[in-house]
Structure 1
Amino acid sequence: MKTEFDMVIVGGGPIGIACGLEAKKNGLNYLILEKGPIVNSLFHYPSNMQFFSSSEKLEIDEIPFISNEAKPKRDEALEYYRRIVTSNKLNIHLFEKVENVQKNENVFTIVSDKATYTSKQVVISTGFYDLPNLLNVPGENLEKVVHYYDNPHYYSGQKVAVIGASNSAIDAALECWRKGAEVSLIIRGSEVGQRVKYWVRPDIINRIEEGSIKAYYNTTIKSISKDHINLTAKGEDIAIENDFVLALTGYKPNFKFLEKLGVNTSNDEKKLPEYNPDTMETNVAGLYLAGVICGGMETHKWFIENSRIHAKMIVKNIISSAITTS
């Protein structure tokens, strides 16, 4: 098995795949390492999820993405990206987790749970879906509390508290209610998030106004017990009966991994990583960022459609740098 490369890409999501395609087209010796299946994060999205973006905006390398509706579903995206990987015979190792990356002089050593590789350049394209934003309240570790949601059938006939005001929380609240759950929606702010999909936001507001879904605005979670969830709403303590808690409060990049690699991040709450926006190279020479991870905690700033260009930027810089030093 070959272990020396021009470029190792950590993360086999859509942007990591785009980087692999670009590397292959330009004759670079590359490897993609993905800790799960192809597009692991998308695979763990809710089974009924529909993208906000239309299919052409999710395309990479100008490969057409044909979907039944203008905005594709999760399974259509899985099929699209899988076919790109298999049809182009991309060099990707699945179910191989990167545990460490170190730079010695001008060469990176990449250690996975299966092998060790060396590479002149490394691209980090790991997204942000692996680490949920925790509530940090007593009872969060109970089995009834989950930070990822898949299918509403599981919650039919149950009392479900959905925490959050963005797309994932609102989708889950509506789906669970439509499958027969008694849904309480816990929102920290004063309204349903403004970035909720435009065809979904009126739906949830109507369900709240008619009383089908009980919404608690300006509310925080005090604690979670086996049979209740304890809230503070507008200064008043409330306990509501509860079977399951869907804490869909967002996710964040693995900042510890970036810091271990030597990537600087801003000192404010945004934790923006340092990189050159023209080349995507970080403050560590030869180490690049691609995709959502570029936004730090601002995970709503980067999407497939506006970060797929990172692949071309990175490979162009690698090639031009090689020409300059040769």
Structure 2
Amino acid sequence: MLDVLIIGAGPIGLACGIEAKRRNLSYVIVEKGCLVNSIYHYPANMTFFSTSEKIEIGGVPFVSHGPKPTRAEALEYYRRVAQLYDLTIHNYEMVQEVLPDGDFYKIHSSKQTYQARAVVVATGFYDHPNLMGVPGEDLPKVSHYYTEPHPYIGQRVLVVGAANSAVDVALETWRKGAEVTLVHRGPEIGRRVKYWVKPDIENRIKEGSIQAFFESHITEIRPHEVDLMTPDGRITIGNDFVMAMTGYQPDYSWLNNMGICISSDDLKLPQRNEETFETNLPNVYLAGTVCGGMQTNKWFIENSIEHANVVMDEIHKRKELASA
């Protein structure tokens, strides 16, 4: 019998494990992929927007070589934190069901069954891309994830979106020799694009190195072409790869199957108490970016680390009251 089972071994899941350990709560962290799985799947050359001290957890200093930490540095840092605290983490184990069992929960995973008094969902949102819903989106040349520019040398690449991920893909692939076109439903490059990158993409578009279609969208994808609807009407361009950087969302099907209520508006917010982070399910809590639903720019590592303290304080308090 565990005091708490934590689902997700990202930075916030690790922070929850650390705070559970500090309060002498028995716990296990279960992760369907590798340690900090989402960060592992970030682009290989990605640089964080936050400075390193803002994404520290557990009081462990994060020293980076540059003013902003890289993906590689973050992977090394969180690995060292997990080892330093000797966290109990079961990687490559998928949680399939969370079922109430009296005052406890039975958690069935792909490998075993757990019993826990409380459950913390810290699953983030990076595993489920927002689909465009157009013919041809399932072709092999279409990807919602990007790792590195090398495969796109000499290729005709269409990048969908104008936020940080899309801009990074457009610039990196162009610099390695791709012929890059960018298409975006909005009127301009996103305002939240990293301040040291935004002038770069805007200048490449202005000089014509990267062609951009604003207030435009894809209508169909074919093996060697893509149709776009633009302010000037429908056009067809030659194409080898489509990089759909359209953003991501929580796994709503999984949350619904657990019984967590989701708001019916466009934000699709999982229900939680603003003070305790408890969901509509007793003793089931949310922590981290999953709290934001479709507002994926509301919560991120640096401003959701404190969720771990809030949640573990509540779980510890209830345990003390139960044993009094």
TM range (shorter): over 0.9
Q: Deviations over 1:226-267 (max 9, x none)?
A: 110110001500100000000010000011111222211211
Distance in 2 of aligned mates of 1:26 and 1:171? 41
- Matched residue of 1:184: which SS? strand
Cα offset, 1:325, TM superposition: 2.7
Cα offset, 1:104, TM superposition: 2.0
Q: Deviations over 1:200-225 (max 9, x none)?
A: 11110000000000000010111000
- Matched residue of 1:260: which SS? helix
* Equivalent residue, structure 2, for 1:238: 235
* Equivalent residue, structure 1, for 2:170: 173
1:211-222 to 2 correspondence within 5 Å? Answer: 211-222=208-219
What is the identity, as a one-letter code, of the residue corresponding to 1:142?
Answer: L
What is the identity, as a one-letter code, of the residue corresponding to 1:300?
Answer: N
* Equivalent residue, structure 2, for 1:225: 222
What is the identity, as a one-letter code, of the residue corresponding to 1:30?
Answer: Y
1:1-326 to 2 correspondence within 5 Å? Answer: 4-234=1-231, 236-326=233-323
- Matched residue of 2:227: which SS? strand
What is the identity, as a one-letter code, of the residue corresponding to 1:247?
Answer: A
Distance in 2 of aligned mates of 1:209 and 1:215? 9
**Can you give the 5+ residue segments of structure 2 that lack an aligned partner in the other structure?**
none
Cα offset, 1:321, TM superposition: 1.3
Distance in 1 of aligned mates of 2:248 and 2:100? 28
The Cα RMSD (Å) is 0.8
Whether the 8 Å contact between 2:261 and 2:280 is mirrored in structure 1 is yes
Number of equivalenced pairs: 323
TM-score, normalised via structure 2 length: 0.98
Whether the 8 Å contact between 2:58 and 2:81 is mirrored in structure 1 is no
- Matched residue of 1:173: which SS? helix
Cα offset, 1:324, TM superposition: 2.2
